[in-house]
Amino acid sequence: MDSPGARIVVFVCVMVALFGVAFSAQSCNVLLTSNRQFTACQTIPEVGANLAWRIRNDSSNAIDFAYSGTAPSASGWVGWGINPAGAGMVGTQALIAFQSTTGAVVYQYPVTGAVKGGQSLIPGDLTLNFTDTSAVVSGAEMTIFSTLNLKAGDSMSMQYVWGQGRTVDLTNNAVGPHSIPISGDAAVTNIDLLTAQASTVELPNQKLKNNHGLISAVSWGLLMPLGVMAARYLRPISGSNPAWFYTHIAFQCTGYVLGVVSWALGLKLHNLNEGGAVPYKHRNIGISIFALATLQVLALLLRPKPDAKYRKYWNIYHHTVGYATIILIIINIFEGLDLLQPEDKWTTAYVIVLCVLGGISLIMEIVIWTLWVKQRTKNNKDGMHGSQMKGTGSYRTGQDVV
């Protein structure tokens, strides 16, 4: 799961599988009419899950819960938790159910900052006192039953968080990443258990993160590669016409300006960084991309004249740094998607964009290589016939006219 390639494959598979999954969690009606005497129930439309509860009318200060959700597959997991620390994933005290080799199980999972940073989520002690926890698993439909024992004076208003994922490592009960995110606008709900009033909780900096992600994807992730493709593919077929150069510059400059905006948003997010979960990798690759892109812009201004002696070396340098930057950009966009955990359609959309760009590049590589071979054959022939038509420029490298 560490290489972007592997991730692309996984995400595409997730999408394919998701289309085959219909939400089939136990409905509120079923939960409310069960013999567990739940008195309230709330549906989470985003994931087709239901949360039912009953506040015990005695001195125990206990609340019985049932959370019923649908995992992406029968070998996946369904989880539900309460975050006493406030909004967000870090600090969540979660109960997660799945099918083990011996039957349905449910374990307690404390979601720490380290988990958000990439450590696997394994069972541990919770700060909340859940008792009588059990799970019923029927295919991908999983229902968690539990009783939360409150201390006197505990709030009856709580943030609850849900998620479900595709994989469980049955050797240590570690659950794989959630496929429907525990983030985004709707994955945390504030609920008043007494009145059954629920409201969606805005996660900290979520809008800023979304904007940073979107602008980065468009600027670094789309315009920059398009600009590189313009230079590589328009140039050989445009002869001495410098149009390719202006197209290249237009894409690269727009991409860079927007990229600087997203970089500034990234810096702001870094300063606001909450919970100690610093995404070092994403940040460091981001710094490298910004530095290399700035270097490319400066190099453009300092480029030697087309017929200068050093132009050849400048070209090699410019191309190497350019391609390296594009590779870093793609890696970092997947890093960012991992952190942001947007809905799968966003990741799929970016994978499709990459596939289209890759497909166009492949076709254009074949076209320009074919042209180059033809041109060379023609030149050789002309050469053999003593023609003076030499040095009309190779299709592969084009001509430096600007």
Ligand X SMILES: *[C@@H]1O[C@H](CO)[C@@H](O)[C@H](O)[C@H]1NC(C)=O
Residues annotated in a binding site for heme b: 212, 248, 282, 318
Q: Are 87 and 183 in contact (CB under 8 A)?
A: no
Minimum distance of ligand X from residue 144's CB (angstroms): 18
Tell me if 59 contacts ligand X by CB under 6 A: no
User: For ligand X, how many residues bind (rule: CB under 6 A)?
Assistant: 5
β-pair type (40-44, 141-149): unpaired
Minimum distance of ligand X from residue 61's CB (angstroms): 8
Amino acid type, 345: K
| From 19, 35, 57, 388, residue interacting with ligand X (rule: CB under 6 A) | 57
Tell me if 108 contacts ligand X by CB under 6 A: no
Two tokens, residue 136: 């019923």
Q: Are 51 and 80 in contact (CB under 8 A)?
A: yes
| From 3, 29, 127, 129, residue interacting with ligand X (rule: CB under 6 A) | 129
**Smaller CB separation from ligand X, 149 or 254:** 149
As annotated, the binding site includes 212, 248, 282, 318
Minimum distance of ligand X from residue 149's CB (angstroms): 3
| Binding track over 303-322 against ligand X, x by CB under 6 A | --------------------
Tell me if 171 contacts ligand X by CB under 6 A: no
Tell me if 101 contacts ligand X by CB under 6 A: no
**Smaller CB separation from ligand X, 22 or 152:** 152
Site for ligand X in 60-79 (CB under 6 A): 60
Tell me if 240 contacts ligand X by CB under 6 A: no
Minimum distance of ligand X from residue 129's CB (angstroms): 4
| From 59, 131, 155, 388, residue interacting with ligand X (rule: CB under 6 A) | 131
Q: Are 45 and 185 in contact (CB under 8 A)?
A: no
Minimum distance of ligand X from residue 63's CB (angstroms): 11
**Smaller CB separation from ligand X, 14 or 63:** 63
| From 34, 42, 108, 149, residue interacting with ligand X (rule: CB under 6 A) | 149
**Smaller CB separation from ligand X, 129 or 138:** 129
Task: Report the interface residues with ligand X, using CB under 6 A.
Answer: 57, 60, 129, 131, 149
